[in-house]
Amino acid sequence: MIRHTSEVRVRYADTDQMKNVYYGKYFEYFEQGRSDFMRSLGLPYGELERQGFYLPVIEAFARYRRSARYDDLLLVETRLPEIPGAKIRLEYSVVRDGETDVLVDGYTVHSFVNASSGRPTRAPEMFINTIAKAIEGAKA
């Protein structure tokens, strides 16, 4: 398993009338974590798109345990539990900086899609190789 942690500062615009983070915003926080995770591996989305691949979300889930509030500094941990095939599942947990209680956890599942044809495809070989090296490095 490989993981990456991103920081997200809750903006006032992210909160609802009760001053809690609006539930849909956590999927945006997951997206930031996912983008940062991919970039940390040397696989930014822009590069995958230049190589002719898209990664649309085909499934998303979040479990809300506690609320975050305006100006909280959140840590979004993104985890990749296994080498992907035609799909990739990323897992997330969100905690308030300095605390250990999980506020929200969840996952997203993405399909690799050929940008030219719009059809599902297997993960590109360079993607698989990069992930495999990162997993091996995490075990060492």
**123 three-class SS:** coil
In single-letter form, the type of residue at position 54 comes to Y
Q: Name the average pLDDT for the chain.
A: 95
Confidence of residue 139 (pLDDT cuts 50, 70, 90): confident
Q: How many domains does the chain have?
A: 1
Half-sphere exposure of 76 (CA within 13 A, CB side): 27
Q: What is the band of 97 on the pLDDT scale with cuts at 50, 70, 90?
A: very high
Beta-bridge mates of residue 45: none
| Rounded Cα–Cα distance for residues 17 and 58 (Å) | 30
CATH at residue 61: 3.10.129.10
User: Residue 38: pLDDT band by 50, 70, 90 thresholds?
Assistant: very high
Q: Which domain holds residue 86?
A: 2-139
Q: Say if residue 120's pLDDT is above 80.
A: yes
Could you give phi then psi for residue 8, rounded to 5 degrees?
A: -135, 125
Position 111 scores a pLDDT of 96
Residue 68 has pLDDT above 80, yes or no: yes
Of 14, 16, 97, 101, the active-site residue reads 16
16 is catalytic: yes
Token look-up 């993405």 returns: 110
Residue 140 has pLDDT above 90, yes or no: no
Lookup: tokens for 103: 């506020």
pLDDT band of residue 71 (cuts 50, 70, 90) is very high
Give the span between the Cα atoms of 46 and 14, in whole angstroms: 26
**Per DSSP, what are the bridge partners of residue 53?**
114
